[in-house]
Amino acid sequence: MNLSTIVAGAMHMARWKLTPAERLAWIEDCLALGITSFDHADIYGDYAVQDLFGEALRLKPTLRQQMQLVSKCGIALPSGQRPEHSLKHYNTSAQHIRASVEASLQALGTDRLDLLLIHRPDPLMDADEVAHCFEALQREGKVLTFGVSNHTVQQFELLDSRTPLSTHQIELSALHTDALLNGTLDQAQRLRRRPMVWSPLAGGRLFSDTGEQVARTRTALQAVADAHGVSLATAAYAWVLRHPSHPHLVTGTGRRTGLQEAVTATQLHLSVQQWTRIWRASMGHDVA
């Protein structure tokens, strides 16, 4: 799997209200900054984001050779786009996975996905069925690599025992630190498979929330930002990047300045004490 360290998340593209040409400009901005990987899911934007991205990419289709496209499947949402879904549920049947892949390929205007993730754990997942489906899609050249998102260590191990998984996309930020101690990142290091991290800025809470934890963490991050002459966002990205599992960061910004803040973080190395001060602020107490 050959993703850029910073991955451009397209989850909110429908909210940006951009023209196709403006969406293409965003794609080109990402590529110019060295952000070559783009993160999607079939459900994003009420099943519309992949179409929006594909519409822009068709304006300059040669860019496809410069990028990696990631998508996710397995969540079924009630939607006018999917009238057969009467309630939100998980579906990792081979039929659903294949239908999602075919729809993603058509929407994105591509012949392949570089990476496909199972979006959420499915209690009814048949690991053998999923593995056989993955292997068939790979033989057909429709998906190059596979992984999961938001799974536990045990859930990852189950599917990985049937077919090799390339990565695990997880939530991690200075405000959401569960992965540090629940074995997820230990597993990533043990297997030498770089994780992907979503919401590294805690969904924007680092900037807007007024709670005690956020206030403490923001103060600690700002001290690091000031010491290095970077933005608060760059310091927050750098805190996640400091982990030795070498995570890929999925950033959901539509702004070039926001993209640049993430890229700048790849050159910022926090000391152990700087990193720990931020972690301690988030926890609200000293390390044990």
Question: Annotated catalytic sites, by residue?
Answer: 44
d(CA 101, CA 257): 32
Structure tokens at 272: 């152990």
SS3 per residue for 6-54: EEEECCCHHHHCCCHHHHHHHHHHHHHCCCCEEECCCCHHHHCHHHHHH
d(CA 1, CA 171): 20
Whether the Cβ atoms of residue 109 and residue 116 lie closer than 8 Å to each other: no
Whether the Cβ atoms of residue 200 and residue 249 lie closer than 8 Å to each other: yes
Beta strands 143-149 and 113-118: pairing type?
A: parallel
CA nearest to 39, candidates 15, 17, 7: 7
Structure tokens at 185: 């990142």
Buried b (16+ CB within 10 A) or exposed e, 6-15: bbbbbbebbe
CA nearest to 233, candidates 253, 210, 258: 258
